[in-house]
Amino acid sequence: MTEFCVWAPAASRVRLRIIGEPDRDLTAGDGGWWTLDVPDAGPGTDYVYLLDDDEQALPDPRSAWQPAGVHGPSRVYDHATHRWGDQGWTGRQLPGSVLYELHIGTFTPEGTFDSAIERLDHLVELGVDLVELLPVNAFNGDHNWGYDGVCWFAPHQMYGGPDGLKRFVDACHRRGLGVVLDVVYNHFGPSGAYAPMFGPYLAETGGNTWGRTINLDGPHSGEVRRYIIDSVLMWLRDYHVDGLRLDAVHALRDHGAVHLLEELAVEVEALSTHVGRPLSLIAESDLNDPKLITPREAGGHGLHAQWNDDAHHALHSLLTGERQGYYGDFGSLQCLSDVLTGAFFHAGTWSSFRGRVHGRPVDRTRTAGHRFVAYLQNHDQIGNRATGDRISATLSPHLLRVGATLLMTAPFTPMLFMGEEWGATTPWQFFTSHPEPELAAAVADGRRREFAAHGWPEGDVPDPQDPGTFARSRLDWAELDKPEHRETYDFHRRLIALRKSRPDLTDPRLDRVEVRHGDQFVVVRRGRTVVAANLAPRAQRITLPGLVRSVLLASRGGVTVMRDVVELPPESAVVVAAS
């Protein structure tokens, strides 16, 4: 027996249409819920809803499976039928871990969960702990970044649907890899968003960069909040996912006494206690507000971590020399020092890009560095460049390794973007596959206008709808067979292993990080581990804070050690054990 249940508070009538059968009326219940038990409607049954006397067939807002796409009928799915093989999995905590961000559609030529499984041994050998997937819930079209999702309970069919995602998570767990899933609750995508036809999922007024604001504090918002909470718990419980990255939480407009994020933290903590494994919530926010990761007992929202764009901007600007747009305030060695010791650069300080004071200071003595996810590259920082060029298109292999060294020895939770470990040359461009010509044209035009305002020639901006834009963004795994790329990969592998072997390098205490810098060099001391980086195109002698006992890792040959002095080749870094 299957119970069909849908929230439609303003409807006077709700019908269920099982494909190929006569319509059935649901029974109205409390709080705008409608229900109907159908004894013979088991898993695999396709169905739609019809509201009032309208004949438009609508998929279920809580559909677990959309095999014919977001505009097609929903299909009954039973989570209990999957035979999990991860019974021995006890989870993976975020502190001490290394994240690896990937997009299922471009990680492999086939672009499916099953083909991604075939590459998991590469990640195990690399040494990462948690695989972070860009959004995989259903969206309109074949390929997309995933941030236009409209079905918040259903994995995208082209990737492999619900069973494919479970096979992927299962395969990760059997290899000792945890899984973090990127989820988007701040807007619905522009095509196939049928949930707002059932109820007030959208706020009466207001919007954000991507569309109408979700109703989190208006009339009937209780059920909308529950819709999001249930989606969060479903990914963690039914798909055995180990954590969620919450997209752009600054766009979640909630003026209630208990913010949705705090409510999520409470519910996820309860689920974690029940399933007996750590479950992490990681926020993306541009507010530079440590309240997100401050424990609830201290008046914060109680999330486990947040992305730290300031760490990216400090490294990117320093290495590339770029100063346009939001990089304007970044790029100095003092900026890097401020970030390594205090997490945020804009911490109640002036932001020239915003034209105002931005951010809030982090309490260095009480806030652990592992609560900040740091990266040299990610999907946004590559894909939101006009041509989607990676940092490897700008930097020499030697400077790439300097950047990797500074990232992996920082007091944060480091994250790599797919292919970064070998210096991939394939771009990561903004791609869509909207079937609607008007929407496709609007997205392409908007992209061109956006970058024209920043001075990019129109011809330099790829058409998101061009299949070639998507094809160019696929990883080229053959690059790993080329000596230069293999050397970069081997360096990342040794760097991650070193990070895990030295307690100093996983120590999250920000107030124990010491930084000194001079003419195009920086020295970072973490306990008895010292990192020296020479950013200059010439060799430099650098005095270290303590006597060198051994060289742990060098980004290139030619390093000379003399007691408390190292001579570094151009564009190089070294990690040493010191007294």
Instruction: Give the separation between CA 469 and CA 145, rounded to whole angstroms.
Output: 12
Instruction: Give the separation between CA 58 and CA 42, rounded to whole angstroms.
Output: 20
386 lies in a domain? no
Average pLDDT over residues 33-40: 97
Whether residue 459 is predicted with pLDDT greater than 80 in this model: the reply is: no
Instruction: Give the separation between CA 64 and CA 293, rounded to whole angstroms.
Output: 31
Question: What is the number of other CB atoms lying within 10 angstroms of the CB of residue 436?
Answer: 13
CATH number assigned to the domain comprising residue 41:
2.60.40.10
Q: How deeply is 87 buried, as exposed, middle or buried, from its count of CB atoms within 10 A (0-12, 13-18, 19+)?
A: exposed
Active site residue 247: yes
Specify the residue for token string 């020499």: 396
Residue 379: closest CA among 150, 153, 124, 184: 184
CATH number assigned to the domain comprising residue 545:
2.60.40.1180
- Look at residues 58, 81, 99 and tell me which one is the last residue of a structural domain: 58
Instruction: Give the separation between CA 374 and CA 371, rounded to whole angstroms.
Output: 10
538 lies in a domain? yes
Whether residue 480 is predicted with pLDDT greater than 80 in this model: the reply is: yes
**H-only helix segments in 74-129:** 104-107, 113-117, 120-126
pLDDT interval class at 223 (50, 70, 90)? very high
Whether residue 450 is predicted with pLDDT greater than 80 in this model: the reply is: no
Cα distances from 340 to residues 305, 420, 516, in angstroms, run: 16, 22, 11
| Bridge partners of residue 181, in order along the sequence | 133, 244
Active site residue 262: no
Whether residue 453 is predicted with pLDDT greater than 70 in this model: the reply is: no
Q: Which residue out of 170, 284, 289, 338 is catalytically annotated?
A: 284
Q: How deeply is 512 buried, as exposed, middle or buried, from its count of CB atoms within 10 A (0-12, 13-18, 19+)?
A: middle
Whether residue 205 is predicted with pLDDT greater than 90 in this model: the reply is: no
Which pLDDT score, from 0 to 100, does residue 155 have?
A: 98
Ramachandran quadrant class, 115 (left: phi over 0; alpha: psi -120 to 50; beta: rest): alpha
Whether residue 65 is predicted with pLDDT greater than 90 in this model: the reply is: yes
CA dihedral 346, 347, 349, 352 (to 10 degrees): 20
The residues near 562 (Cβ < 8 Å, ≥ 6 apart) are none
Structure confidence by residue, pLDDT tens digits, 120-176: 999 999 999 999 999 999 999 999 999 999 999 999 999 999 999 999 999 999 999
Structure confidence by residue, pLDDT tens digits, 280-331: 999 999 999 999 999 999 999 999 999 999 999 999 999 999 999 999 999 9
The residues near 20 (Cβ < 8 Å, ≥ 6 apart) are none
Whether residue 230 is predicted with pLDDT greater than 70 in this model: the reply is: yes
Instruction: Give the separation between CA 147 and CA 185, rounded to whole angstroms.
Output: 10
Write the DSSP assignment of 261-328 as a string of letters: HHHHHHHHHHHHHHHTS--EEEE--SS--GGGGS-GGGTS---SEEE-HHHHHHHHHHHH---SGGGT
List the beta strands (DSSP E) in 361-408.
372-375
- Look at residues 13, 42, 58 and tell me which one is the last residue of a structural domain: 58
SS (H, E, C) 475-539: CCHHHHHCHHHHHHHHHHHHHHHHHHHCHHHHCCEHHHEEEEEECCEEEEEECCEEEEEECCCCC
| Bridge partners of residue 520, in order along the sequence | none
Residue 123: closest CA among 133, 111, 112: 133
Which pLDDT score, from 0 to 100, does residue 517 have?
A: 97
Which pLDDT score, from 0 to 100, does residue 440 have?
A: 84
Stretch (H or E) spanning 440 = helix 437-452
Q: How deeply is 434 buried, as exposed, middle or buried, from its count of CB atoms within 10 A (0-12, 13-18, 19+)?
A: buried
Structure confidence by residue, pLDDT tens digits, 520-542: 999 999 999 999 999 999 999 99
Whether residue 455 is predicted with pLDDT greater than 70 in this model: the reply is: no
Specify the residue for token string 């991939």: 424
- Look at residues 16, 43, 58 and tell me which one is the last residue of a structural domain: 58
Q: Which residue out of 46, 101, 182, 247 is catalytically annotated?
A: 247
- How would you label 100-126 residue by residue, b for 16+ Cβ within 10 Å and e otherwise? bbbbbbbbbeebbbebbbeebeebeeb
pLDDT interval class at 442 (50, 70, 90)? confident
Q: How many residues does the chain have?
A: 579
Instruction: Give the separation between CA 174 and CA 160, rounded to whole angstroms.
Output: 19
Structural domain including 37 reads 2-58
Average pLDDT over residues 99-125: 98
CB 97 within 8 A of CB 505: no
Instruction: Give the separation between CA 328 and CA 313, rounded to whole angstroms.
Output: 9
221 lies in a domain? no
pLDDT interval class at 2 (50, 70, 90)? very high
How many Cα atoms occupy the beta-carbon half-sphere of 516 within 13 Å?
A: 11
**Crossing angle for the helix pair 397-408 and 309-320, to the nearest 10 degrees:** 150
Question: What percent of the chain clears pLDDT 90, i.e. is strictly above it?
Answer: 94
Instruction: Enter the tokens of residue 522.
Output: 């920086």
Per DSSP, the three-state class of 32 is helix
Instruction: Give the separation between CA 173 and CA 166, rounded to whole angstroms.
Output: 11
Instruction: Give the separation between CA 16 and CA 296, rounded to whole angstroms.
Output: 43
161 lies in a domain? no
559 lies in a domain? yes
296 lies in a domain? no
Write the DSSP assignment of 133-164 as a string of letters: EPP-B--SSS---STT---TT-B-GGGTHHHH
Torsion angles phi and psi, residue 561, rounded to 5: -115, 130
185 lies in a domain? no
75 lies in a domain? no
Report the number of distinct structural domains present in the chain.
Answer: 2
Instruction: Enter the tokens of residue 552.
Output: 């742990």
